[in-house]
A and B are shown apart, each in its own frame.
Chain A
Amino acid sequence: MYNYNSLSRFEISLLAPSTTFSILIPVISSQANTNFYVAYQTTNATTSFKSLAYVEPKRTISITNTATTTSTTGLTVSTYSIGQNVTNLVVKANNGGTVNTNSGNSIGAAFSYFSQWNYFQGATITGFQTYGTCYTLSYLYYLTNYAAYLTGSTFSSSYLLMTGIVCSCDVSGSITTATLTVSTVSLPAKWGLNLPGYGAISDYDGTLKFINSNVNYQKIGSSLTVSNITFPAVGPNMMKSVGNWVIPLPVGLDSSVLITITGGVTNLPFTFYTFSDALSTCAVYYSNVVQPVTCTWISSPTSISYTLNILESGLLPSGSGFSLVHYGMTSNSSYNSVTVSVKCYSLLNTLNPGANDLIFSATNVVFPYSGSNYIGPSSLNLGSFWQWTQNKGVV
């Protein structure tokens, strides 16, 4: 027996419904058996007296099952590029089998797709009419390790606005070949080729049967190519000079990235003062204005890697305004022009990114070295760069 005061409750405003309604509430449940009552609250038109006028019989849901994770559902994106605006994106809403059609209190048969990237914003979803109706919904996923933090662990948290669809199989569960079409989708760039999102198939009793990440189904087909990179001017006998990497961004950078410039087995035509000298540092500019983006770097004779800690979207939009300014470049007369590759990786999934985290790249581009005594442009326009001399002596 479950008493009123031992139960929690949702109260959902629903004024005088005249047609069939369907309410979806994202929840976390960590038990095999869950008990429910659903009741209707009415308001007396004369006295405004509110009462629970109807209570449906108790419903107990008992599920013990672990889903299969080797299924194949999700966004079909292998022919698209990072950041591409796609028309009529196909979503595979089946795993090759059927589920039981929803009936009675068994209304759990559905295909779901959720992601921290909103693929469905402003889009029309078609193709599921044969099986049922698709609903879009979102929820805030917020998780911390606060209990562990109190006992000494490093604090960690996750804060994701999850958006997705639940397509209920109220008409038919024969979804063997079911696909959806999303009218317009803007594919994200900040995860590289690893598209965020999970597809799931649930049976009519609510049991989660299949779930898989979109990465395991399909990755985005190709990363982007960057061109017209302007390299820092390097030449002999540079000492602690200011170098300027101008990289026209094919997509905006909205989260932290790793930018690498590598010459393969060939040394780059400069070295740096290290941080230990406190004389070498980098900064991020956009349209000659320094941006609140933390820049750190490491280098070897053959490569240099910049980690840009980007905490705010919109600072670095696509276009030609992006530049990395590095103070402390040093060289001598022993260098030559080299062929390098420039790559930009997403750091959202890992701090050691690989090919699937690649956002854009340029390969076999020449990093020119001027062998004359010329050591750079006559001027460098840095909007927030100041240099002055204190306590100047008077002769």
Chain B
Amino acid sequence: MNNRPPSYINQTFNNVYVITQNLAFLTYINLFTDIYCAVLIPQNTDIVNGYGAIPLIATTTPKNTLTITTSNSQDWSDFVTNTNPLVSSTSTASSNTPGASLLSSSSYQSLIFSFNALFSSVSNFSTNPSTTITNNWGMMIMMNPNIGFDSNATVTIKESIATSLLIPSVTTVTNVSSYNLYTMITLRGSTSGALQTSFQVANVKTSFGVYPFRVNPFSSIYSDSNNMDFMIATVDGIDGPLNKMKFIGYFMINGFSQSTPTTTIKMGFVNYQYPSPMDGSQVPTVLRIKGTISNNASALNSLVVFFDKLTPFFSNMQSG
């Protein structure tokens, strides 16, 4: 706390009176600079007895009002079974069976999330299944509106462990005049037990599918409006008020929609040796890709090979 500014007495200020319990407001104004916060202490307060006529004043520190609060994503991907954290199923019913990928299709699909997320990473409430979560627990899954949901459809959830006690709802905003376009799935649970089918106390692989969605276009390879990144947050007290909500867990998934693999492209090594790898001074190790493109070949632009820890040579050319 500083003393009030010297010019305080002689200046005319626009005053806003807010009760000090409104933490959300106090947090909000701290984003701005040069705002004086005056706290008027009741006259009968023992600690500051005799000073009640003079408000204690703090100046908000200069801040960039455009700052974005960031949180590191947790890692809920399942390293054990090597399952993609997000896939889809073209099954006509709600499914929780992981497939190979997020498939582009005009048909309804289940979005299937396979997580290795502990209860403690999604909620701070007691693990006792009967514990009531004040104002409900929620998982918000925000995604590209290209993943569509019909407003007149009924969303369902199917969990891999047991019948789901989570309540799903979906909001999708696709009107071009809207400021933000998105589709958001919200899962709600009222007790710790409702969460523990998919977010267990022990380390257990689980999955759940939410149905029905349309994943029609392909995702972009660039950072643009066709990205299909999924941002997930879990919240204790999701039904508010805002200052009582507590964000617990975050997870982000780079989603790529694709067609069903054609499996017509084969890939392997030639001349591979380990633990004495070929450095190229004699013969090189060669990565060979062979195959045909049967689907949508006329639209093919390039092949992309993703790999770990290979080193290509500086230049190469091939003919034959």
Binding site for B on A (CB under 8 A): 1-32, 34-45, 49-59, 61, 63-67, 104-108, 110, 112-114, 133-143, 158, 160, 162, 164, 166, 168, 170, 198-200, 202, 204-208, 211, 213
Contact B77 A1 (CB under 8 A): yes
In the bound complex, do residue B306 and residue A29 qualify as a contact, i.e. CB atoms below 8 Å apart? no
Is there contact, CB below 8 Å, between B291 and A36?
no
Instruction: Across the A-B interface, give the 7 residue pairs with the lowest CB-CB distance, nearest first.
Output: A206-B269, A135-B320, A51-B218, A26-B284, A139-B316, A139-B313, A42-B299
**A1-B85, A30-B277, A52-B218 are known contacts. Are A114 and B267 too (CB-CB below 8 A)?**
no
Chain B residues with CB below 8 A from A37, complex form: 305-307
Q: Is B315 an interface residue (CB 8 A)?
A: yes
Residue B301 interfacial (CB < 8 Å) = yes
The residue that B292 contacts in the complex, of A7, A21, A143, with Cβ under 8 A, is: A21
Binds A, one of B150-158, B164-172, B173-181, B256-264: B256-264
B263 partner residues in chain A, CB cutoff 8 A: 56-57
Q: With A and B bound together, what is the CA distance between A22 and B284 in angstroms?
A: 17
Complex Cα–Cα for A264 and B136 (A): 102
With a CB–CB cut-off of 8 A, which chain B residues contact A29?
A: 269, 272, 274, 277, 285, 309-311
Q: Does B35 contact A (CB under 8 A)?
A: no
Return 25 A-B CB contacts under 8 Å, by A number: A10-B304, A12-B289, A15-B301, A17-B297, A23-B288, A24-B318, A25-B312, A26-B284, A26-B316, A27-B284, A27-B286, A27-B311, A29-B285, A35-B307, A38-B289, A41-B302, A55-B101, A63-B272, A66-B275, A104-B266, A106-B268, A107-B290, A141-B313, A200-B283, A204-B268
| Chain B residue nearest in CB terms to A51 | B218
Determine if A198 and B283 form an interchain contact, defined as CB atoms under 8 angstroms apart: yes
A110–B279 Cα distance when bound, in Å, is 18
Contact with B303, one of A26, A41, A61, A206 (Cβ below 8 angstroms): A41
Chain B residues within an 8 Å CB radius of A135: 318-320
Q: How far apart sit A18 and B292, CA to CA, in the bound complex (Å)?
A: 7
Q: How far is the CB of B7 from chain A (nearest CB, A)?
A: 53
Verify A136–B299 contact, CB threshold 8 A: no
Interface residues of B in 27-83 (CB under 8 A from A): 77-79, 82-83
> Given the complex, which residues of B lie within 8 Å of A160, measured CB to CB?
281
Taking CB atoms, residues of chain B closer than 8 Å to A67 are 273
The residues of B that contact A105 with a CB separation of less than 8 Å are 266-268
> With a CB–CB cut-off of 8 A, which chain A residues contact B279?
28, 141, 143
How big is chain B's contact interface, by range? 35 or more
Cβ 8 A contact of A50, one of B78, B100, B297, B301: B301
Distance in angstroms between the alpha carbons of A56 and B299 in the assembled complex: 17
Is there contact, CB below 8 Å, between A139 and B284?
A: yes
Kindly state whether residue B219 has any CB partner on chain A within 8 Å.
yes
In the bound complex, do residue B288 and residue A5 qualify as a contact, i.e. CB atoms below 8 Å apart?
Answer: no
Q: A40-B293, A114-B282 are in contact. List 15 more A-B contacts (CB 8 A).
A: A8-B308, A8-B309, A10-B307, A20-B290, A22-B290, A23-B290, A28-B277, A29-B277, A29-B311, A52-B219, A54-B261, A64-B275, A139-B280, A166-B270, A168-B288
Given contacts A20-B292, A22-B288, A25-B286, contact A45 B299 (CB under 8 A): yes
Measured between alpha carbons, how far is A325 from B9 in the docked complex, in Å? Answer: 102
Among A18, A34, A211, max chain B CB count under 10 A is at A34
- Count, A-B residue pairs, CB within 8 A: 344
* Contact status A140-B313, CB under 8 Å: yes
| Chain B positions within 8 Å of A114 at CB level | 282-284
Q: Is the CB of A21 within 8 A of B307?
A: no
* Contact, CB under 8 Å: B269 / A63: yes
| Chain A residues with CB below 8 A from B298, complex form | 16
The residue in chain B whose Cβ has the minimal distance to the Cβ of A22 is B290
Whether A3 contacts B284 by the Cβ 8 Å rule is: no
Do the beta carbons of A30 and B308 come within 8 Å of each other? no
| Alpha-carbon distance between A6 and B307 when the two chains are bound, in angstroms | 9
In the complex, the answer to whether A112 meets B271 with C-beta atoms within 8 Å is: yes
Q: Complex formed: what's the CA distance from A40 to B226 in Å?
A: 17
Q: In the assembly, what is the distance between CA of A104 and CA of B290, in Å?
A: 10
**Known interface pairs A9-B305, A108-B272. Does A26 touch B286 (Cβ–Cβ under 8 Å)?**
yes
B287 at the interface (CB under 8 A from A): yes
Q: Which residues of chain A have C-beta atoms less than 8 A from B270's C-beta?
A: 24, 107-108, 110, 112, 166, 168, 202, 206
For A207, the closest partner residue in chain B by CB is: B272
CB contacts (< 8 Å) of B8 on chain A: these are: none
Chain A CB within 8 A of B19 CB: no
Q: A14-B302, A22-B290, A137-B319 are in contact. Are A59 and B267 (CB under 8 A)?
A: yes
Residues of B within 8 A of A43 (CB): 299, 301
Q: Which residues of A contact B320 (CB under 8 A)?
A: 22, 133-137
Tell me whether A54 and B259 are in contact (CB under 8 A). yes
Give the distance in Å from the alpha carbon of A164 to the alpha carbon of B82 in the complex.
Answer: 38
Q: In the docked arrangement, what's the CA distance between A158 and B313, Å? A: 13
A106-B274 Cα distance, complex, nearest whole Å: 18
Residues from chain B with a CB closer than 8 A to the CB of A166 are 270, 286, 288
Contact in complex: B299, A23 (CB < 8 Å): no
Residues of A contacting B261 in the complex (Cβ-Cβ under 8 angstroms): 54-57
B302 engages A208 (CB within 8 Å): no
Interface residues of B in 233-270 (CB under 8 A from A): 254, 256-259, 261-263, 265-270
Contact with A along B198-221 (1 / 0, CB 8 A): 000000000000000000011111
Chain B contacts for A142, CB-based, 8 A: 313-314
Please determine whether A138 and B266 come into contact, CB atoms closer than 8 angstroms: no
